Structure 1
């Protein structure tokens, strides 16, 4: 039986596929250089075919009611890229470099004022209140029963001597769960590596010393605003 895409993701499929095609356009010079190919048309088709598979595997974690739905929609496509490049024999470190450079280039296509405004909104008191609300919900047994593939996390307040404005400890990661279910554990660090540019391009410093993917008990995200250049 053919697996289907959850209706929430199906409603966003066109925009997600467009983002993937744009991502591959940006990745083309790197892929041609690293793989010594005259063009990447075959890889492009392979990635889009794999992305169609990934779309059927994406876990539903609450749609617009959950901030983590956006994380899945923005980043899960890199699983498709990683799978194809891994099958093509590229080393994991090279795959990670290609994906980080590509994602950064894609993020920088958004005007700086818009990116910085999004960063300030993320760091705002209003958003921190929302994070605390959703974090409190994520740890409940009822939420974990309804959305077992979701993230579980706590908001961390700075203590004396801390330099961050607030933090998040992820004690369960949706991408780790996805990777464990679908045999993607070895490519998971490439996905983790995308976080730093994702925040830096919005004017936010992310400090992180450990990850669940690396075997730690939790991912320790710590956020502060970067000084204006």
Structure 2
């Protein structure tokens, strides 16, 4: 994780100078790595390897740490968003295309959809919510006759929203939500989403389908 974080900061360096107008880049990098350690201690336990959302929490910790540090240095949120999104996509694209597309096909596979359906059902139970109150709560959405997506997920409670609310990071949330589109697109998946909990909606409506280049596979 630390190696990936350092790599992302290296990718961000030109924009930290040109867009954020920061000069002590080495100092910024040290601050971010220190903040990452803090964020990791703050992250809740939501079931470890048995929960798919554990990986989501871990993957997004670095963005939370970077955003906190840049915000403290007076960088405007739109600039932070641009830096985070551009470096996120650049880092994703360092993986071989075949590897990324294979991961996308696995995500869209019937087997993974069955797992998502199972974990979604578990997330809504009183026993799970009592054991992991900081976890995500979500429903699996099957397409109707007139729908063009393959499947969807409605997040009714967001672990990151809970986390951000507890630690004063609500203003960072929309930036982090925006990272989802490239995360899926670089794996050959089209994400359509028109609302988020962070934006004040009742749920986040994720809808997934294959990008045209992947539909024939």
- Is TM (by shorter chain) over 0.5? yes
Cα distance in 2 for residues equivalent to 1:18 and 1:172: 31
Following TM superposition, by how much is the alpha carbon of 1:222 offset from its aligned partner in structure 2, in angstroms?
Answer: 0.1
What is aligned with 2:154? 169
Following TM superposition, by how much is the alpha carbon of 1:76 offset from its aligned partner in structure 2, in angstroms?
Answer: 1.6
1:211 aligned to which of 177, 180, 196 = 196
> Where does the alignment leave 5 or more consecutive residues of structure 1 unmatched?
1-15
Following TM superposition, by how much is the alpha carbon of 1:22 offset from its aligned partner in structure 2, in angstroms?
Answer: 1.0
What is aligned with 1:127? 112
Deviations 1:43-62 (A, max 9, x none): 00111111111010011111
- Give 3-state SS (helix, strand or coil) of 1:154's partner: strand
Cα distance in 2 for residues equivalent to 1:39 and 1:120: 42
Paired positions, count: 214
After TM superposition, the score normalised by the length of structure 1 is 0.91
Cα distance in 2 for residues equivalent to 1:19 and 1:147: 28
2:44 aligned to which of 53, 59, 70 = 59
Following TM superposition, by how much is the alpha carbon of 1:36 offset from its aligned partner in structure 2, in angstroms?
Answer: 2.7
RMSD: 1.0
Question: 4+ residue stretches of structure 1 with deviation over 4 A?
Answer: none
Following TM superposition, by how much is the alpha carbon of 1:169 offset from its aligned partner in structure 2, in angstroms?
Answer: 0.1
- Give 3-state SS (helix, strand or coil) of 1:171's partner: strand
- Give 3-state SS (helix, strand or coil) of 1:60's partner: coil
1:202 aligned to which of 182, 187, 194 = 187
- Give 3-state SS (helix, strand or coil) of 1:198's partner: helix
What is aligned with 1:32? 17
Q: Mapping of 1:77-116 within 5 angstroms?
A: 77-116=62-101
After TM superposition, the score normalised by the length of structure 2 is 0.96
> Where does the alignment leave 5 or more consecutive residues of structure 2 unmatched?
none
